Amino acid sequence: MQKNKIHFEISERKMILHFMDVVCIVLALHVVGYFFNLGYLKSSVSNWVYLTVLILYLKVIGAIFELYNLQVSSNEFLIGRSAILTVTTTVLAYFLTPIYSPVLPSNRLQIIAFLLVVFFSLVLWRVFYVRFLASKRFHQNALLVCDEEQLNELVSGIETIDPHYKIVAYLSDFKSVSVENQTDGFLKRISLAEIVPFVEKNQITEIVVASQKKGTITAELYQQLLKLLESGKVIREYTQLYEAKTQRIPVQHVERDFYLFFPFSRSNQNRLYLSIVRMFEIIISIIGLAITLLLIPFIFIMNAVANKGSLFYTQERVGKDGVIFKILKFRTMIENAESKKAVFATLNDSRITAFGRFMRKTRIDEFPQFVNILKGEMAAIGPRPERPFFVEEIAQIMPFYETRHIIKPGLTGWAQVNYSYGESIDDSLIKLQYDLYYIKHRSFYLDFNIALKTITTILFYRGQ
């Protein structure tokens, strides 16, 4: 048997990036500091408190500026932009931190040296990652077992998310052992009889079973898969792979009795978790409303000039357990924008005013919703609340849509920070996948991740 090709899972790649960022920066500061006798650089890595603060800043700010986004990390231009933003913000925050960082030196050249060492050590390591660890030699090869009519949808659903995961062949004839090899576009179709030798010859490490038809796993196919499993290959069902790679629940590939086996997160009923989250929501709401009060004079003036009409508007939305409540927002559309009927807002909707578009991009229009959070109608993080008209329309098409109402709707959510503007039923399906993933995996860690990604959305002007 041939030795398996080396590859890295998504979690392993992120772990490598996190670990090596710290190693390279700390090592560079240590070497340069002691070689040139630069006291500021030496003290920043010799004192564990100073070092901890530096690493903490790097991780949090790096997450905000997408330093650990695998799509960004595989592109030299994007990683350069991310590194510049991360390093300058991290170093500035570190310089301005009293007590928990070294006292600024009288020799200002040490400050410049600190900035340059952190930047170049990070960039050089990341260029090595892009050109070597993110290259084709470390791609993971997989074999897909599926119905032929599903092929394109299944392949594109995975490879667009993880560029390092390659499906190199597929098996669709589960009974015949005499099918000759064919090439379907970029994928090779193989026969059942040669699945084992093909997997070994092409260094395939994973077999993905995706057929939804009953009786797909014949006795013949089962025996072949068992041989591969015993030889150390990984065999996964497609929905498991899809969820792990995309961080979405593939509702289009599960049965209609989805509710019977969907494993909701225990945090949804954990009183300690809910109490702590509620405490933070009250604090955040008070701060948010204080900021809103400061913004109102500015928005009032801009409204008078570029967005004539009322300052606020309310709209019915569906909340937890299907209860209807009125959401409060700054108005961003022309008056009577829906005089005929309710329609989805589109990306370049002509009903949105120029100033309204600015408020949407920066999420300023959402600030009044801190009132809804304070009243307990909404949470800080959760699925975005939808209008009753659209809920009824979408629920008729998507049997799992109303599952998102088992928790409070949120000001921001997993779908909002991972997906672009939703303006159709198809977009609603993708957002539903993200919402169900959040409901399934809800935790402090995921909430913190969403909070950081929300800051990223605002800073990069990606609001909706």
Distance of CA 320 to the CA centre of its chain: 24
The pLDDT value recorded for residue 179 is: 40
> What pLDDT, on the 0 to 100 scale, is given for residue 186?
62
Nearest-5° angle of CA 164, CA 169, CA 170? 120
For residue 14, how many other CB atoms are within 10 A of its CB?
15
Average pLDDT value for residue range 24-49? 96
Q: Is the pLDDT of residue 194 over 50?
A: yes
Q: What is the pTM for the complete model shown?
A: 0.84
Q: How far is CA 406 from CA 226, 265, 280, 438, in A?
A: 40, 11, 21, 12
What pLDDT sits at residue 341?
A: 61
Q: Looking at residue 133, what is its pLDDT?
A: 87
Rounded to whole angstroms, the Cα distance separating 118 from 92 reads 12
Residue range 65-92: average pLDDT?
93
According to DSSP, residue 352 is labeled B
pLDDT at 348: 67
The SS3 call for residue 108 is coil
Give per-residue pLDDT as tens, 394-416.
Answer: 888 877 788 899 999 999 999 99
Residue pLDDT, tens place only, 371-402: 999 999 999 999 999 999 889 888 888 777 88
Would you say residue 248 has pLDDT above 50?
yes
Fill in the amino acid letter for 389: F
CA-based nearest residue to 459, from 17, 94, 82: 82
User: What is the C-alpha separation between 108 and 363, in angstroms, rounded?
Assistant: 39
Token code pair at residue 242: 């899809």
Helix axes 151-159, 238-246, angle to 10 degrees: 30
- The 10s digit of each residue's pLDDT in 289-346 is 999 999 999 999 988 888 788 899 899 999 999 999 999 999 988 876 665 566 666 6
**Minimum mean pLDDT range among 61-70, 304-313, 334-343, 432-441:** 334-343
> How many residues appear in the chain?
464
Rounded distance between C-alpha atoms, residue 441 and residue 266, angstroms: 9
Identify the sign of the CA torsion 171, 175, 179, 185.
Answer: negative
Q: What is the pLDDT of residues 4-18, one digit of tens each?
A: 567 777 888 899 999
Which whole number is the average pLDDT over 453-464? 81
Query: How many H helices and E strands in the chain?
Result: 18, 10
Fold of 139-246: Rossmann fold (3.40.50)
Categorize the per-residue pLDDT at 176 as very low, low, confident or very high, splitting at 50, 70 and 90.
Answer: very low
Per domain, the residue ranges of the chain are 10-133, 139-246, 266-459
3-state helix, strand, coil in the chain (%, to 5): 60, 10, 30
Rounded to the nearest integer, the mean pLDDT of the chain is 86
- Calpha distance 262→265 (Å, rounded): 10
pLDDT at position 63 is 95
DSSP per residue over 54-97, as a string? HHHHHHHHHHHTTTT-HHHHT-HHHHHHHHHHHHHHHHHHHHT-
